[in-house]
A and B are shown apart, each in its own frame.
Chain A
Amino acid sequence: MIAGVSIYEILTVTTLLFFIGIYGFLTRKNMITMLLSVELILNASAINFVIMNKYLFPENLEGVYFSIFIIAIAAAESALAVAIIINLYKLVTSVEVEDTETMKY
């Protein structure tokens, strides 16, 4: 519980964060920034877990644990993604997503 801040305000922030992430994912051409956007989406949902837990079921801790898991998985996932991007860079000397569309059709 944070004094003076209602759940709606925090949810508004996380929603903004979520859609900024989606907007970034859809519009950025650089794979690194797309990865950053994905992290934003993940963070938005992680915050949501904690907030829901804190405001609605303060006697439980599942939401908090879940957000810890999300952080761990996000770290692993971004390590994997960065590894893929580095390999891709060796292949096409670019991190632009438009240069990697050879697998279409």
Chain B
Amino acid sequence: MNYLYAIYIPLIPLFFFLLLGIFYKKIKPPVSGWLGTLGLLTVFLISAFLAYNYFFVEGKIGDVYQTYVYKSDWMRFTDTLKIEMGVLIDPISVMMLIVVSTVSLLVHIYSTGYMKGDEGYTKFFAFLSLFTFSMMGLVLSTNLFQIYIFWELVGVSSFLLIGYYYTKPSAVAAAKKAFIVTRFADLGFLIGILIIGYYTGTFDFASLNSLEGPAIANWASQSFMGLSVITWALILIFMGGAGKSAMFPLHIWLPDAMEGPTPVSALIHAATMVVAGVFLVARLFPVYYFVEDGFALHIVAWVGAFSSLFAAIIALTQTDIKRVLAFSTMSQIGYMMLALGVSGYYGHEGLGYMASMFHLFTHAMFKALLFLAAGSVIHAVHTNNLLEMGGLRKYLPVTHLTFLIAALSIAGFPGFAGFFSKDEILVATFEHSKLLYGIGISVAFLTAFYMFRLYFGIFWNKQREYKHTPHESPLAMTLPLMVLAFLSIVTGYIHFSEYVSADKKGFEAHLNVPLATIAVTMAVVGMGLAFLFYKKKTTLPDKIADTLGGLYQWVYHKFYIDELYLFVTKEIIFKRVSTPFAWFDKHVVDGTMNLIGNSTVAGSEKIKGMQSGRIQDYAFAFLGGLVILVIIVVYNLM
């Protein structure tokens, strides 16, 4: 039972990144795409082999899924302070390997069609490989520092890919925004890691998560402002996770990140990188659950629930189809956080944990599908604007059908993958808190509504005139759509609870029929409303928007959160705080330095006359010194 070969999973994409990156002028477009795809195919096969072995053959010893850790010292400062690198195999990391490799492989195939004819084709595949390397490294991390390193690496790859069209100012601005916002959040993450390291003496996941470990056993020993220091550290770590996963109030970068190419949005900003925050909380779940009776976990639940509702409301009003999907992603990640937040640890109590991972899994499939289908639509009509689309079902039959499957899946229609995972989340939430359940069920309704607004708006509605008759995308693009559509249905039938659970023992989960009925009713009502509003061109939506007036505008402008942040940073921080600091820096700090420099120059101007260049002056000085020395010596001796 040696899983050491898992190390090749991140290393193969790294190799292809270096290959494509170094020789990017030599390797011409079609070849670089095939190379990248080949690399990912290998990674996918290794991951699948590993997952099969782990889950079905030999991972379970007794009734517990084992955790395998292979690591070595990377940087060793002292005996206790050292940073290790390695791979960690446990149910959630193996599950994430499958998610990342599947979606990444399909996105690679899709990109060979979507990016055809683009100038930076090779560069694009190099960046995709870099991202896959970083994400695999993140998933397999054995300790907090390693995960932090890969965390930043995925941030960099995301930055590079959002700013891929670097001649477009909006893309550059979006890339910077994404980087700065997530970097700001990662500051919290880093402080959290350092606090954990200082108070528990370890960064290692295995010892942190161990129930007798220093974090869980001794959390009460140190406290700060009424809370345990470990709780503070967990809140700060969650801040990093919230930044990466676009949770309120650090969500502002995600909609703008849609400036990147659509396959990137599907891979990074829908399926894999943005769920890193969920993965992080899940990775440290025992610590979150046991320290201070899950205080930090309550914060996770509430932030998740609020973000979920908040994003779903904004998604109702947006007209850029990729932005609707971006807010939908934020909303669904909020769901996952909510599920983690309400979860327990032992056996069936860990339903929320399992539901969160289940939803992460199914969401990756159908959300990647939605993005790729949206990319196919954009490819055909060359616009992102929903208002300029309509009646596309005749032109794009495959895209239409796959989009419909994905939309049904995310709306939670019975029989599709999203139905099963969403049901588990709602059951877990219902058992924990009725208020959170209320939020969850209304988000389910809103999700169904805005997804079908999008669906009807793109594929039905009014027939429009297009400059070029839209045509279906090439096979390289429709094949991944079909595979993902298949996965968006069948992944729901996996008995997920047997494989992934908080205590790693697995349990039996059953469909809760009454709650499922409520959820399905809400979803169907949402779809029905969307059908009434958007199936045909009607004035109904505009009328409602007019009636709501200011409220509609408020939501349309995303609650003015961006404007608020701009105001806070520009008007308050830059003008009120930074300007005095800049003055102080320019005049006092620089002034002191200049004073030292200038006085040295002036002083040397004064005394440089001593170096006359006349040999006799030097000889005189030498002799004078000698005489003085002699006098001193003689006087002392006498």
Q: Which residues of B contact A27 (CB under 8 A)?
A: 616
- Proximity bits, B589-622, A CB within 8 Å = 1, else 0: 0000000000000000000100111111001100
Cβ distance A76 to chain B, nearest Cβ, rounded Å: 20
Q: Which residues of A contact B620 (CB under 8 A)?
A: 26
Q: Check if B612 sits within 8 Å of A97, measured CB to CB.
A: no
Most chain A beta-carbon contacts within 10 A, residue among B608, B612, B615, B623: B615
Q: Check if A26 sits within 8 Å of B613, measured CB to CB.
A: no
Q: Which residues of B contact A98 (CB under 8 A)?
A: 614
Selected from A25, A102, A104, A105, the residue in CB contact (under 8 A) with B616 is A25
Q: Check if B613 sits within 8 Å of A102, measured CB to CB.
A: yes
Q: Check if A101 sits within 8 Å of B619, measured CB to CB.
A: no
Cβ distance B621 to chain A, nearest Cβ, rounded Å: 11
- A101-B613, A104-B613 known; A26-B619 Cβ under 8 A: yes
Complex-state Cα separation, A26 to B611, whole angstroms:
16
- A105-B608, A105-B611 known; A22-B616 Cβ under 8 A: no
How many positions in chain B have a CB within 8 Å of any CB in the partner chain?
A: 10
Cβ distance A101 to chain B, nearest Cβ, rounded Å: 3
- Band of interface residues on A: 10 to 19
- A56 part of interface (Cβ distance < 8 Å): no
Complex-state Cα separation, A25 to B615, whole angstroms:
10
- A103 part of interface (Cβ distance < 8 Å): yes
Selected from A25, A101, A105, the residue in CB contact (under 8 A) with B614 is A101
Cβ distance A55 to chain B, nearest Cβ, rounded Å: 23
8 A Cβ contacts from B423-452 to A: none
Cβ distance A77 to chain B, nearest Cβ, rounded Å: 15
Q: Check if B608 sits within 8 Å of A97, measured CB to CB.
A: no
8 A Cβ contacts from B531-548 to A: none
8 A Cβ contacts from A1-47 to B: 22, 25-27, 34
Cβ distance A29 to chain B, nearest Cβ, rounded Å: 9
Complex-state Cα separation, A35 to B478, whole angstroms:
99
Q: Which residues of A contact B613 (CB under 8 A)?
A: 100-105
Q: Which residues of B contact A105 (CB under 8 A)?
A: 608, 611, 613
8 A Cβ contacts from A73-105 to B: 97-98, 100-105
**B612 — nearest CB in chain A belongs to which residue?**
A104
Question: Chain A: residues with CB nearer than 8 A to chain B?
Answer: 22, 25-27, 34, 97-98, 100-105
Name 12 interchain pairs, CB-CB below 8 A, sorted by A. Answer: A22-B623, A25-B616, A26-B620, A27-B616, A34-B616, A97-B615, A98-B614, A101-B614, A102-B613, A104-B612, A104-B613, A104-B614
Beyond contacts A22-B623, A26-B620, A105-B608: 13 other A-B pairs, Cβ-Cβ < 8 A, are: A25-B616, A25-B619, A27-B616, A97-B614, A97-B616, A98-B614, A101-B613, A102-B613, A103-B613, A104-B611, A104-B612, A104-B613, A105-B613
